[in-house]
């Protein structure tokens, strides 16, 4: 027995050392590649701005409590079975590790329980019973995901993925070996100590063992076999996972803990005055490290692909491919960069620059066509269960195409020139910006800056005929509520949202700084706007330029006026004869979590009734105009706004409510395409409220 225990100890210790060494080295190697990339912008870099409270909360909510996974309830439950099964196994497998490392001299290392050793046999019994139940639940979860991938063949999943089969097989083997081992223990226990009751599961499995002829004399051998099957599976898992797409088990927790604490709607600010600054990204080593960590965290589950409006309408863009190809670039190109930096010291820069580390058009998922198909709707980020941000990576590459290579769609050039010359994408004379307010007795801040609220009209409200009516309706509401407000008039400029999302950071910063200087000159404190793009930009991005204002979207502002009793809204006359639905704007919804204010207003007018489209709230389908798409032609004939309009019409609604100038333009166009202009009205919530004061 002593010889067998020595052999057991030597074999296990050698395997334990190799598996753990390879496992840790693989993780550290990949993290070294990641952190050899460029540091993150500003406050996003963990090393300079740790913000422990935010990051601990992010880790607890999204890793421990699985918040993002539960956005898909059934899949969330099944994933929770597997995740919490792993947590439950920590002490069980830890007991095996301890027994293996210090097993020499133990009476029976195969039956060692750390819980029993520390707390007592009763606690050990209940813990192992719990582990057995969790093993069954893990197998249920594995079965569900296997069914989705290979039977249902759900969109976004690779049905020919050997990596998924390997990992599912490994995890299943871990669970089955434990269950069979506990069943074999129960066979031996029945003879050793009849008073020792195994768990119900173990007893049932033990009964199955006895049915196939396993008795006391052979039960212990099967315990040892299952023990080794389990532990070898653990070691194989440790060797395989860091090098596979299932490395998300390791890197997703890093991703959530190191997540940026900047607002969701804020893109990074480039330091354009720094002569060494990188204006956009193409080379792998120039990506901010969070973009490359995203690649390691990606499980390639396809949730982002399923939700992406561009991909849903047949465009080349696939957000899953964006992140997966960044991982490929990291593993393909960064090792040589790191090697040169470690060996060449100060002379490394020139040698690194000579390497072919570009990614745009090098990888299929990172083609120019794919990058220009993005609406920046944030659906991919919202859907991602491991905290990846595809939009940030896309904007980084767009910046490179625009600022470094001057390569972008021709139509976008017109918008850029118009914003530069007339401070609006339409190119209408800037001197006419306040003409929409003629006859409404609206004061400008130049006339009287003593106002409580600045109404930021936005380019659409000032220059687009359809959206001028929305601005006029909102003024009617403000006056009815006796709000002391003013506008900037001709001093207001384009907020710059389309310039920034279109990759023209230089133009954006020019526009943004000019607006911030103007508002600060008038000591503006509170801003309200009907444009979600202006709202998001002024609220979340203007602080980068010294513009710190309290910014409210008109949906929230009007709803508060109703709650405060400053305006009284009646039920519309057509509330009984027609249906109302609401289209979520991406930039007040997913970016700024404002879903209920506009719905409250629609319900106020519709008598409390609201027909929801098939995709709504955080899963609302984009209108197709964001990310500067408003100024570009779509890449194919299957238009995003047509698809979204059909969803809204399928509700049977006779009135479609919107809360965004881009959305009202796109949805109105969709209704025309469907030939429903006479039957269906498309109105902004300000118009709906103003009509029913």
Confidence at 2, pLDDT banded by 50, 70, 90: very low
Say yes or no: 243 and 287 in one domain: no
Whether residue 195 is predicted with pLDDT greater than 50 in this model: the reply is: no
Say yes or no: 659 and 643 in one domain: yes
Whether residue 230 is predicted with pLDDT greater than 50 in this model: the reply is: yes
Say yes or no: 455 and 351 in one domain: no
Tokens of 347: 């002379």
431 CB neighbour count, 10 Å cutoff: 10
Segment 466-475 shows an average pLDDT of: 98
At 535, give phi and psi (nearest 5°): -55, -50
Whether residue 311 is predicted with pLDDT greater than 80 in this model: the reply is: yes
- Each residue of 143-152: b (16+ CB within 10 Å) or e? ebbbebbbee
Q: pLDDT over 90 for what percent of the chain?
A: 81
> In a 3-state reduction of DSSP, which class is residue 595?
coil
**pLDDT tens track for 414-447:** 999 999 999 999 999 999 999 999 999 999 999 9
Whether residue 288 is predicted with pLDDT greater than 90 in this model: the reply is: yes
Q: pLDDT over 70 for what percent of the chain?
A: 97
Rg for the chain, CA atoms, rounded: 30
- Each residue of 468-499: b (16+ CB within 10 Å) or e? bbbbbbbbbbbeebebebbbbbbbbbbbbbbb
Extended strands (E) in 212-309:
none
Say yes or no: 419 and 401 in one domain: no
Say yes or no: 222 and 168 in one domain: yes
Specify if 174 maps to a domain. yes
Torsion-angle region of 402 (φ positive above 0: left; ψ -120 to 50: alpha; else: beta):
alpha
What CA–CA distances, in Å, run from 118 to 122, 127, 183, 578?
A: 11, 12, 23, 68
Total domains present in the chain: 4
Segment 17-39 shows an average pLDDT of: 96
Give the residue from 407, 429, 460 where a domain finishes: 407
Whether residue 669 is predicted with pLDDT greater than 90 in this model: the reply is: yes
Per the structure, the complete domain to which residue 649 belongs is given by: 580-691
Half-sphere exposure of 501 (CA within 13 A, CB side): 27
Question: CA torsion angle for 263, 268, 271, 275 (degrees, to 10)?
Answer: 160
Q: What is the pLDDT of residue 541?
A: 98
Which residues, at least 6 apart from 471, have a Cβ–Cβ distance to it below 8 Å? Answer: 436, 437, 457, 461, 462, 530
Rounded to an integer, what distance in angstroms lies between the CA atom of residue 369 and that of residue 400?
A: 14
Contact indicator for 248, 298 with CB cutoff of 8 Å: yes
Say yes or no: 395 and 459 in one domain: no
Q: Parallel, antiparallel, or unpaired for β 580-582 and 655-658? A: parallel
Confidence at 609, pLDDT banded by 50, 70, 90: very high
**pLDDT tens track for 357-376:** 999 999 999 999 999 999 99
Segment 656-680 shows an average pLDDT of: 97
Tokens of 570: 């009646």
Rounded to an integer, what distance in angstroms lies between the CA atom of residue 19 and that of residue 465?
A: 68
Whether residue 34 is predicted with pLDDT greater than 90 in this model: the reply is: yes
Specify if 23 maps to a domain. no
Confidence at 1, pLDDT banded by 50, 70, 90: very low
Contact indicator for 418, 424 with CB cutoff of 8 Å: yes
Say yes or no: 242 and 118 in one domain: yes
Which residues, at least 6 apart from 394, have a Cβ–Cβ distance to it below 8 Å? Answer: 322, 371, 374, 376
Whether residue 193 is predicted with pLDDT greater than 70 in this model: the reply is: no
Specify if 38 maps to a domain. no
Rounded to an integer, what distance in angstroms lies between the CA atom of residue 360 and that of residue 364?
A: 9
Give the angle 456-457-460 at the CA atoms, nearest 5°: 140
Specify if 40 maps to a domain. no
Residue 652, judged by CB atoms within 10 A of its CB (0-12, 13-18, 19+), counts as exposed
- Each residue of 513-536: b (16+ CB within 10 Å) or e? bbbbebbeebebeebbbbbbbbbb
What CA–CA distances, in Å, run from 114 to 41, 124, 259, 649, 652?
A: 46, 8, 35, 61, 62
Weakest-pLDDT range from 13-22, 45-54, 428-437: 45-54
Weakest-pLDDT range from 48-62, 192-206, 207-221, 315-329: 192-206
Residue 194, judged by CB atoms within 10 A of its CB (0-12, 13-18, 19+), counts as exposed
Give the residue from 531, 564, 597 where a domain finishes: 564
Q: What is the pLDDT of residue 217?
A: 76
Q: What is the pLDDT of residue 215?
A: 82
Say yes or no: 132 and 170 in one domain: yes
Specify if 2 maps to a domain. no
Q: Can you state the percent helix, strand and coil of the chain, rounding each to 5?
A: 60, 5, 35
Rounded to an integer, what distance in angstroms lies between the CA atom of residue 143 and that of residue 148?
A: 9
Among candidates 569, 564, 551, 581, which has minimal Cα distance to 644? 581
Torsion-angle region of 41 (φ positive above 0: left; ψ -120 to 50: alpha; else: beta):
beta
pTM of the entire structure? 0.93
Weakest-pLDDT range from 23-27, 149-153, 621-625: 149-153
Give the angle 82-83-84 at the CA atoms, nearest 5°: 95
Tokens of 111: 């039956």
Say yes or no: 333 and 445 in one domain: no
Say yes or no: 379 and 294 in one domain: yes
Q: What is the pLDDT of residue 200?
A: 85
305 CB neighbour count, 10 Å cutoff: 23
Whether residue 475 is predicted with pLDDT greater than 60 in this model: the reply is: yes
Tokens of 15: 């395997």
Whether residue 324 is predicted with pLDDT greater than 50 in this model: the reply is: yes
Say yes or no: 240 and 282 in one domain: no
For the chain, what is the mean pLDDT?
Answer: 93
Tokens of 629: 């798409």
Weakest-pLDDT range from 179-183, 344-348, 383-387, 524-528: 344-348
Q: Which DSSP helix (H) or strand (E) runs through 528? A: strand 526-529
Say yes or no: 249 and 287 in one domain: no
CATH number of the domain residue 315 falls in = 1.10.1060
Specify if 9 maps to a domain. no
Specify if 29 maps to a domain. no
**Residue the block writes with tokens 């133990």:** 106
Q: What is the pLDDT of residue 387?
A: 95
Specify if 243 maps to a domain. yes
Q: What is the pLDDT of residue 231?
A: 95
> Comparing 575 with 250, which gets the higher pLDDT?
250
Give the residue from 407, 438, 469 where a domain finishes: 407
Contact indicator for 263, 538 with CB cutoff of 8 Å: no
């Amino acid at each position: 027995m002593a010889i067998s225990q020595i052999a057991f100890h030597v074999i296990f210790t050698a395997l334990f050392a190799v598996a753990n060494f390879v496992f840790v080295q693989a993780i550290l190697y990949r993290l070294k590649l990641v952190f050899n990339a460029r540091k993150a912008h500003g406050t996003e870099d963990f090393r300079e701005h740790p913000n422990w409270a935010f990051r601990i909360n992010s880790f607890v909510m999204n890793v421990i409590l699985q918040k993002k996974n539960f956005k898909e309830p059934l899949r969330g439950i099944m994933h929770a079975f597997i995740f919490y099964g792993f947590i439950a196994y920590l002490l069980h497998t830890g007991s095996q590790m301890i027994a293996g490392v210090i097993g020499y001299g133990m009476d029976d290392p195969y039956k060692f329980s750390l819980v029993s050793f520390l707390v007592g046999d009763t606690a050990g019994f209940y813990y192992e019973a719990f582990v057995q139940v969790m093993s069954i639940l893990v197998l249920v979860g594995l079965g569900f995901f296997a069914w989705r991938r290979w039977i249902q063949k759900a969109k976004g999943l690779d049905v020919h993925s050997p990596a998924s089969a390997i990992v599912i097989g490994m995890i299943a083997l871990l669970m089955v070996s434990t269950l069979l081992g506990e069943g074999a223990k129960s066979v031996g226990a029945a003879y050793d100590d009849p008073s020792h009751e195994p768990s119900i599961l173990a007893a049932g499995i033990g009964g199955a063992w006895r049915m196939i002829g396993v008795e006391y004399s052979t039960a212990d051998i099967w315990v040892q076999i299952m023990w080794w099957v389990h532990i070898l599976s653990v070691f194989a898992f440790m060797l395989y996972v860091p090098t596979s797409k299932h490395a998300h088990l390791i890197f997703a927790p890093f991703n959530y803990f190191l997540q940026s604490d900047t607002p969701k709607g804020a893109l990074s600010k480039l330091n354009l005055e720094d002569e060494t600054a990188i204006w956009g990204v193409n080379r792998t080593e120039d990506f901010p490290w969070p973009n490359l960590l995203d690649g390691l965290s990606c499980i390639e589950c396809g949730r982002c692909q399923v939700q992406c409006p561009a991909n849903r309408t047949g465009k080349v863009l696939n957000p899953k491919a964006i992140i997966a190809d960044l991982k490929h670039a990291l593993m393909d190109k960064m090792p040589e960069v790191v090697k040169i930096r470690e060996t060449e010291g100060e002379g490394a820069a020139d040698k690194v620059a000579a390497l072919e580390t570009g990614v745009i058009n090098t990888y299929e998922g990172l083609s120019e066509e794919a990058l220009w198909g993005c609406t920046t709707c944030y659906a991919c980020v919202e859907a991602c269960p491991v905290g990846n941000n595809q939009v940030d990576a896309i904007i980084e590459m767009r910046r490179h195409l625009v600022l470094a290579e001057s390569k972008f769609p021709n139509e976008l050039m017109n918008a850029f020139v118009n914003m530069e010359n007339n401070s609006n994408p339409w190119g209408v004379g800037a001197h006419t910006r306040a003409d929409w307010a003629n006859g409404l007795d609206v004061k400008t801040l130049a006339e009287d800056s003593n106002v409580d609220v600045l109404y930021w009209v936005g380019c659409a409200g000032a220059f687009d005929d359809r959206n001028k009516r929305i601005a006029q309706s909102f003024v009617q509401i403000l006056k009815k509520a006796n709000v002391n407000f003013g506008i900037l008039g001709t001093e207001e400029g384009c907020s710059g949202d389309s310039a920034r999302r279109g990759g023209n950071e230089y133009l954006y910063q020019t526009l943004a700084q000019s607006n911030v200087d103007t508002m600060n000159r008038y000591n503006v404190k509170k801003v309200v706007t009907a444009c979600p793009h202006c709202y998001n930009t002024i609220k979340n991005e203007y602080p980068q330029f010294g513009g710190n204002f309290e910014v409210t979207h008109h949906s929230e502002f009007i709803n508060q006026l109703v709650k405060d009793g400053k305006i009284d809204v009646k039920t519309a006359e057509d509330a009984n004869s027609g249906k109302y639905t609401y289209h979520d704007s991406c930039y007040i919804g997913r970016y700024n979590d404002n879903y209920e204010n506009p719905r409250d207003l629609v319900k106020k007018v519709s008598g409390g009734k609201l027909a929801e489209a098939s995709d709504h709230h955080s899963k609302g389908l984009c209108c197709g105009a964001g990310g500067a798409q408003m100024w570009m032609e779509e890449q194919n004939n299957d238009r995003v706004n047509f698809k979204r309009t059909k969803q809204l019409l399928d509700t049977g609604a006779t009135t479609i409510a919107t809360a965004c100038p881009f959305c009202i333009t796109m949805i109105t166009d969709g209704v025309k395409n469907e030939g429903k202009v006479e039957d269906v009205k498309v109105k902004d919530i300000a118009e709906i409220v103003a009509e029913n004061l």
